[in-house]
């Protein structure tokens, strides 16, 4: 299995730039289980208000994880999350990317991953 770092330039290129990737992965940082470093149904439940979906049901959470879980480990790693978000809402992501680029005054250091 390829490392995420190896795939990232390819994904960034395909999606049209680094800005979208940065935004997607900022979302990942917010939603993930800090101990495990992946998004789990439990971490999603805890952070559902961040999604604007405080009343998210368990079955909705499970189906979201299942939808994006490409390797079948029951959790979303960073790449799976990025792919899922883009698949779910390419138009939305494009709009928010444009907004982010206009409004953002702080540069996100995407390489500072530790
Ligand atoms: Ca997975």
If you measure from the C-alpha of residue 90 to the centroid of ligand 1, how many angstroms do you get, rounded to a whole number? Answer: 21
Domain encompassing residue 50? 7-89
Cβ burial, residue 58 (10 Å; 0-12/13-18/19+): exposed
pLDDT digits (tens, 9 = 90+) for 32-44: 999 999 999 999 9
If you measure from the C-alpha of residue 66 to the centroid of ligand 1, how many angstroms do you get, rounded to a whole number? Answer: 9
Q: Report how far residue 16's alpha carbon sits from residue 62's, in angstroms, rounded to the nearest whole number.
A: 30
Q: Can you give the pLDDT at residue 52?
A: 80
Q: Could you tell me if residue 2 is inside a domain? A: no
* CATH of residue 35: 1.10.238.10
pLDDT digits (tens, 9 = 90+) for 52-106: 878 888 998 999 899 899 999 999 999 898 888 777 766 655 666 666 676 665 5
Helix, strand, coil content of the chain in percent (nearest 5): 60, 5, 35
Q: Could you tell me if residue 58 is inside a domain? A: yes
If you measure from the C-alpha of residue 53 to the centroid of ligand 1, how many angstroms do you get, rounded to a whole number? Answer: 22
Q: Could you tell me if residue 49 is inside a domain? A: yes
Q: Report how far residue 74's alpha carbon sits from residue 66's, in angstroms, rounded to the nearest whole number.
A: 7
If you measure from the C-alpha of residue 35 to the centroid of ligand 1, how many angstroms do you get, rounded to a whole number? Answer: 16
Q: Can you give the pLDDT at residue 50?
A: 79
Q: Could you tell me if residue 16 is inside a domain? A: yes
Say how many domains are in the chain. Answer: 1
Q: Can you give the pLDDT at residue 42?
A: 94
């Amino acid at each position: 299995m390829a490392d995420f770092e190896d795939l990232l330039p390819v994904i960034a290129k395909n999606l049209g730039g680094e800005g979208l990737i940065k935004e997607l992965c900022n979302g990942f940082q917010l939603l993930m289980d800090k101990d495990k470093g992946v998004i789990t149904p439990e971490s999603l439940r805890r952070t559902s208000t961040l999604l604007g979906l405080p009343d998210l049901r368990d079955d909705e959470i499970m189906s979201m994880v299942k939808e994006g879980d490409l390797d079948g480990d029951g959790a979303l790693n960073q790449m799976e999350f990025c792919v899922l978000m883009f698949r779910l809402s390419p138009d939305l992501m494009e709009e928010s990317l444009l907004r982010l680029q206009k409004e953002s005054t702080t540069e996100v250091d995407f390489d500072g991953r530790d």
